[in-house]
Amino acid sequence: MTGLLRRHPIPLAVLVSLLLCLPTMGMPLWSDDHTHLLMIEDWLGLREPAAYTLQGQTDPLGLLNLFQFFVMPREQFAADVAAGALPWWADPDLSLGFWRPLPSFLELMDYRLFGLAPLGYHVHSMLWHLALVGAVGLLHRRALPAAGALATLLYAMDDARWLPMAWLANRNALIAAVPALLGLAAHLRWREDGWRPGALLGPLGVAVGLTGGEAAVGSFAYFFAYEAFAAPGAPRRRGLALAPFVVLGGAWAVAYKTMGYGSSGSGLYIDPVGEPAAYLAAAGERAPILVGAMLGMLPSEASTAVPALIPVAVALGLLAAGVVGAMLNAAWPELPEETRRGLRWLGPGAVLALAPILATFPLDRLLLLPGIGGSAVIAVALRWAWRRPRSRVRQGLGVAGVLLHVVLPLPMWVGFPMLFSTENDKLDALRASAFPEPEALTDKDVVVLVASDITIVMYMPAWGLLHDAPEPGSYQILSAVPRDHRITRTAPDRLELEILDGGLFDGMMTKLTRSPGRPFAVGDVVEQRGATIEVLEVGPRGPTRLGVTLRGEREVYPIAWVDGALVPVALPEVGASMLIPWTPGPMGL
């Protein structure tokens, strides 16, 4: 195996990736994939414009864009809030828009070819994934002749790679990364071998990558790190080699903002330009979490799903960085100069490539670009730990590294697809338990007293629309906070909802659609089709008690997440209360 890895590192890494991808071929399309398919069908005129703000949107260049969320005239936004299509707590300035025309076009082509059958989509995504591994292999082979083969294999085996390939809605990251990395490989060949086409293909690759999405921005980090720390020639020559990328990046940023893309009003997506203070504050927490995940510690999703784990994840990230840094420091005198030179730009490039993804909440799937340098650092550290003669400490570090980066990721490539393959069955079960007589919904206002996670808030309505299930007159959520709730009936048409031991901003869905920096005040009122919501009490983590007046225009159909199921609930009698204890939702959150 070692000899094969040395002789044919890239084909072997691609083959391993292919085998790891096979369990995902049986996965359904799920979650945001349904939203994208609805947008495509709407854009093609195959259905009436969908409720729940899922209309396919055209970008300023006239192209389909499946990655514009809440981007609409504010009058329409207010109307959608009033209709219950957006949650009542949504920030009036909420906008999440990302310019990704190439993945949108490719999904449109997939739909024309495969309809709603998922296999074709997955094969297409797998090809992008294999191309990514091949492109990373080219970079590692040039930068780290001794450790590059191991670095590429570790990159391919990392379970952080599976979701961008298996989830159609995240394929954009692959489409952005592949041409940008091929451009980087061409640039390196030009700078080191004098291959002149690379001078043009480098910027061209990044330009194509930027049409795939913001993930390509991370490639600028490697171009800069290479020219700053490892490229041949005088500083002036390095600056000239970097100049096209400075111009390209600046032009893209100006065009991006001019077309109205970016984020505002969200507590999970932060605009680094428009909200620099908030970005820097979040970066101090998010960066060590992502570094720790990249180095094999706690998956970053754990702290995102359970905020109480954030201090633990930060500490583990700092610990992992310290240990790996100490290993490299000890190994440095023993390393060949070519390996040192490669690490001089791959390591800083990985750190700098974190900058774009710090604008959103930590997720392992965001580490496509930082992971290139991260896997290089890990590979060099592991080779040092296993070289003879080795002390007990070195041997222990080597064993730990193999467990974290070779053994543990393998079952994840099988387990995660198996786990997510049942998501659509869960949605069917949710609708069946919540709406035992779906045909009677059309003249009712569904009021979800307490949701559990994003599945109920967003994905269940989209699933129903995509499969032409009977839809209610309106569908609105009162709370999606993972806390116990108390519902008190104060009048025939009035409820009070209390969030016990917490506040509205304890909910991830709340922070997605409203920043804690835009707090509510006592007395704030939001009117929706089925109910009017008034903020009665506010605590450190947002509203803690709400007054809900049922409007009575249609029959109210109350449902709630109770004991692990979404079910209709009978409201308490006037003067009485009911406790709804929190239990994990369909996604286990």
pLDDT of 189 above 60: yes
Residue 273 banded pLDDT, cuts 50, 70, 90:
confident
Domain that holds residue 432: 423-580
| Residue 536 CB contacts under 8 Å (≥ 6 apart), including other chains | 496, 522, 543, 545, 546, 547
Do 243 and 365 lie in a common domain? yes
Do 293 and 363 lie in a common domain? yes
Residue 71 banded pLDDT, cuts 50, 70, 90:
confident
Residue 241 banded pLDDT, cuts 50, 70, 90:
very high
Do 397 and 464 lie in a common domain? no
pLDDT of 80 above 90: no
pLDDT at site 45: 84
What digits encode the pLDDT tens for the residues 124-162?
Answer: 999 999 999 999 999 999 999 989 999 999 999 999 999
What digits encode the pLDDT tens for the residues 280-300?
Answer: 999 999 999 999 999 987 899
What digits encode the pLDDT tens for the residues 527-554?
Answer: 998 899 999 999 999 999 999 998 767 7
- Rounded to a whole number, what is the largest CA-CA distance in the chain? 82
Nearest CA to 207 out of 262, 247, 240, 239 is that of: 247
pLDDT at site 4: 64
Q: 486 pairs with which residues across the strands?
A: 498, 579
In a domain, residue 500? The reply is yes
Q: 568 pairs with which residues across the strands?
A: 559
pTM of the predicted structure, to 2 decimals = 0.93
In a domain, residue 164? The reply is yes
Do 431 and 411 lie in a common domain? no
Do 224 and 175 lie in a common domain? yes
Residue at which a domain ends, from 388, 417, 446: 417
Residue at which a domain ends, from 372, 389, 417: 417
Dig out the tokens for 69 from the structure: 């969320």
In a domain, residue 53? The reply is no
Q: Which residue has the tokens 């499946």?
A: 66
User: What's the alpha-carbon Rg for the chain, to the nearest Å?
Assistant: 25
Strands 474-477 and 444-448: parallel
Least confident of 104-118, 196-210, 226-240, 407-421: 407-421
pLDDT at site 52: 47
Residue 479 banded pLDDT, cuts 50, 70, 90:
very high
Q: Which amino acid is at 490?
A: T
Do 123 and 255 lie in a common domain? yes
Are 145 and 379 in contact by the 8 Å Cβ rule? The answer is no
pLDDT of 389 above 60: no
Dig out the tokens for 1 from the structure: 């195996």
In a domain, residue 69? The reply is no
- Judged by DSSP in three states, 229 sits in helix
End-to-end CA distance of the chain: 41
Q: Average pLDDT in the 496-509 region? A: 92
Residue 174 banded pLDDT, cuts 50, 70, 90:
very high
How many independent structural domains does the chain possess?
2
* Distances from the Cα of 258 to the Cα of 59, 219, 269, 392, 396, angstroms: 12, 22, 19, 58, 53
| Residue 250 CB contacts under 8 Å (≥ 6 apart), including other chains | none
The average confidence (pLDDT) of the chain is 90
Q: How many Cβ atoms from other residues are within 10 Å of residue 297's Cβ? A: 23
In a domain, residue 65? The reply is no
Q: Which residue has the higher pLDDT, 228 or 271?
A: 228
- Judged by DSSP in three states, 570 sits in coil
pLDDT of 437 above 90: no
pLDDT of 56 above 60: no
pLDDT of 326 above 90: yes
Q: Which residue has the higher pLDDT, 362 or 63?
A: 362
Beta strands in 245-389 (DSSP E): 262-264
Q: How many Cβ atoms from other residues are within 10 Å of residue 437's Cβ? A: 8
pLDDT at site 43: 87
Q: What is the per-residue DSSP string for 498-542? A: EETTS-GGGSHHHHHHS-TTS---TT-EEE-SSEEEEEEEEETTE
pLDDT at site 360: 92
Q: 176 pairs with which residues across the strands?
A: none
Least confident of 47-56, 107-116, 156-165, 394-403: 47-56
Task: Determine what percent of the chain is predicted with pLDDT higher than 90.
Answer: 64
Nearest CA to 200 out of 213, 188, 187 is that of: 187
Are 383 and 324 in contact by the 8 Å Cβ rule? The answer is no
Do 526 and 555 lie in a common domain? yes
Do 324 and 429 lie in a common domain? no
Question: From CA 48, how far away is CA 244, in angstroms rounded?
Answer: 45
In a domain, residue 136? The reply is yes
Do 464 and 567 lie in a common domain? yes
pLDDT of 390 above 70: no
Do 516 and 459 lie in a common domain? yes
Question: From CA 234, how far away is CA 242, in angstroms rounded?
Answer: 13
Strands 565-568 and 531-539: unpaired
Provide the 8-state DSSP code for 199: H
Q: How many Cβ atoms from other residues are within 10 Å of residue 408's Cβ? A: 13
Q: Which amino acid is at 196?
A: R
Length of the chain, in residues: 589
In a domain, residue 91? The reply is no
pLDDT at site 465: 78
What digits encode the pLDDT tens for the residues 340-358?
Answer: 999 999 999 999 999 999 9
| Residue 180 CB contacts under 8 Å (≥ 6 apart), including other chains | 205, 206, 208, 209, 210, 216, 218, 219
pLDDT of 588 above 80: no
Burial environment of residue 436 by CB neighbours within 10 A (0 to 12, 13 to 18, 19 or more): exposed
In a domain, residue 108? The reply is no
Do 397 and 442 lie in a common domain? no
pLDDT at site 335: 94
pLDDT of 453 above 80: no
Residue at which a domain ends, from 396, 417, 438: 417
The secondary structure of the chain in percent helix, strand, coil, rounded to multiples of 5, reads: 60, 10, 30
Q: How many Cβ atoms from other residues are within 10 Å of residue 220's Cβ? A: 25
Question: From CA 355, how far away is CA 351, in angstroms rounded?
Answer: 8
Q: Average pLDDT in the 73-84 region? A: 85
Do 359 and 383 lie in a common domain? yes
Dig out the tokens for 541 from the structure: 């983590």
Q: Average pLDDT in the 250-263 region? A: 92
